[in-house]
Amino acid sequence: MLHELVITGKIVNPEGIHEAQIGIDGAFITEFKKQGLRGEREIDARGCLIFPGFIDMHVHFREDGSHQWDYKEDFTSGTAAALHGGVTTVVDMPNTPLPGITAERIREKKALARTKSKGLLGILFCGAIAESNLNTLVDMQNEVVAYKIYLARTGGLYIDEKTLPQALKAVETTSKPAVIHCEDQHIIDCKKEELGSRGDGRKKQGELHSELRPAEAELSAVRNVLSARASTARGVKISIAHVSVSDTVRMLKQHKNVYSEVTPHHLFFTRDDVLSKKAFLKTNPPLRTEANRQRLLAAFKAGEIDFLATDHAPHTKEEKAHDILDAPAGVPHLDTYGNFVSWLIARCDVPPTLIARVSSFNPARFLGLNDRGRIEVGKRANLTILELQKRVQIHSDRLYTKCGWSPFEGYEFPGTVRHTISNGVVATEYDDVF
């Protein structure tokens, strides 16, 4: 049999690594063999690692029917940035100018995404939960893969502690999971009042943001989630988004069907880096201490964190150049996902099999995506080929995100994405996105 595409190299699945050939026809893997496959096109990736296509569970592509934020990112530029970074599936968050609180709005975003991605990227959606739509979440269940709850103010999508049990119960009726932003708004408000009364003003720009959103704000919100789930919605699957505090991981280990994601910025940077990069490293939740970063990285290496997600949140350089208290929070990461994975493997001794789990298998299972997440016959031909012997320095002129910058500007990584293959299409070759 002559396949449309045959790839040869080291195949990485969660349970192990072995040399093999992958036969691809159309959008799917059709044969898997030690040797002997022939293809109309063949890619020799020996010396590289071939992963199931990376799945990023947390991105902000910014585009909706209003087009107010398209200048930051849209589905076209976001697709290119994702493919450049080795990502073949993303989950877009709902906190755009027209929040994703109805099925109609989600369908509108889906149509935009379909047209602009040209089928090269799997773009899935989170539905937003607000007090106004608690009784209509079921209407959205066929349009979304999960629901997002914000326990800190984000536009009109804030859910307070009293409403949280009702929100979780509403999610449980949909059979979809919940992704929760855990920062206690009451603690943030108290800190803001306290810092204002102390007259700190704007003396320590690099530290003020993290003082306003301390570790206890995350821990308190997580405790509230666990308590609400135990009392009203034990059946709902939950992921705690962008965990920034190592104690959060320890807390979650005791609970079944409660998962966690970690971002590149919380594994790489600390609050000390904010002193030099200022608002360009402003994120919610903020960066923590070096000791906390080391503990978070150790928990990741031990397999105690379930997902590696970027929280890709592009803003323009002009917006990020503002005072740290006024600038928007968030950093872009999609272009550099594969580079960061190479750092985890080569510099932090993270096993490639763990990467296959947290970047592919676990997200697919959590989201109910049975057609991806592993390299095997019958799965989608979504593959990320990583070359660990090609050092790359990050430069803004080699990025595809519309915002045009990266927090890793100038950093050298030990490897890069050689090819991203999405639905059987070879979509990239190193820095070129086709």
Instruction: Give me the catalytic one of 44, 311, 326, 371.
Output: 311
Percentage of the chain modeled with pLDDT above 90: 94
- pLDDT score of 199: 58
Q: What is the pLDDT of residues 238-281, one digit of tens each?
A: 999 999 999 999 999 989 999 999 999 999 999 999 999 999 99
Active site residue 247: no
| pLDDT of residue 123 exceeding 80 | yes
Give the confidence band of 345 by pLDDT, cuts at 50, 70, 90: very high
Measuring CA to CA, how many Å separate 77 from each of 61, 80, 110, 289? 9, 5, 16, 33
The residues that bridge with 392 in the sheet, in sequence order, are 413
Residue with tokens 């590149």: 264
Give the confidence band of 154 by pLDDT, cuts at 50, 70, 90: confident
- Given a contact cutoff of 8 angstroms between Cβ atoms, the answer to whether 151 and 185 are in contact is yes
Q: Nearest-CA neighbor of 424 among 22, 18, 17, 12?
A: 22
| pLDDT of residue 201 exceeding 60 | no
Q: Nearest-CA neighbor of 360 among 57, 153, 151?
A: 57
Phi, psi of 144 (to 5 degrees): -125, 160
Strands (E), 71-207: 87-92, 122-128, 146-150, 178-181
317 burial (CB, 10 Å; 0-12 / 13-18 / 19+) is exposed
| pLDDT of residue 205 exceeding 70 | no
CA distance 256 to 299: 17
Angle between helices 185-198 and 205-212 (to 10 degrees): 140
Give the confidence band of 46 by pLDDT, cuts at 50, 70, 90: very high
CA distance 276 to 41: 48
Phi, psi of 209 (to 5 degrees): -65, -45
Phi, psi of 415 (to 5 degrees): -160, 175
Residue with tokens 């099999």: 353
Per the CATH hierarchy, to which homologous superfamily does domain 2-49+380-433 belong?
Urease, subunit C, domain 1 (2.30.40.10)
Report DSSP state, residue 284. Answer: S
pTM: 0.97
| pLDDT of residue 40 exceeding 70 | yes
Angle between helices 164-172 and 215-232 (to 10 degrees): 50
Give the confidence band of 155 by pLDDT, cuts at 50, 70, 90: confident
424 CB-side CA count, 13 A? 19
Residues 404-428 have a mean pLDDT of 98
Residues 10-36 have a mean pLDDT of 97
CA distance 12 to 433: 23
**All structural domains of the chain with their residue ranges:** 2-49+380-433, 54-367
Q: State the chain's mean pLDDT as an integer.
A: 96
Name the fold adopted by 54-367. Answer: TIM Barrel (3.20.20)
| pLDDT of residue 286 exceeding 70 | yes
- pLDDT score of 206: 62
Sign of CA dihedral 373, 345, 79, 3: negative
Give the confidence band of 204 by pLDDT, cuts at 50, 70, 90: low
Give the confidence band of 207 by pLDDT, cuts at 50, 70, 90: confident
Instruction: List Cβ neighbours of 146 (8 Å cut-off, separation of 6 or more).
Output: 91, 126, 127, 176, 177, 178, 179, 239, 367
Residues 138-161 have a mean pLDDT of 95
Neighbours of 201 (CB within 10 A): 10
Q: Which string of DSSP letters, residue by residue, matches 172-202?
A: HTTT--EEEE---HHHHHHHHHHHHHHT-TT
CA distance 168 to 137: 11
- Does residue 285 have a cis peptide bond before it, meaning omega lies within 30 degrees of 0? yes
Give the confidence band of 195 by pLDDT, cuts at 50, 70, 90: confident
User: What letter represents residue 335's amino acid?
Assistant: D
CA distance 55 to 362: 9
User: What letter represents residue 275's amino acid?
Assistant: L
Strands (E), 249-394: 258-262, 307-308, 383-387, 392-393
- pLDDT score of 24: 98
| pLDDT of residue 28 exceeding 70 | yes
The residues that bridge with 33 in the sheet, in sequence order, are 21
Give the confidence band of 101 by pLDDT, cuts at 50, 70, 90: very high
- pLDDT score of 52: 98
Q: Nearest-CA neighbor of 62 among 116, 133, 24, 17?
A: 116
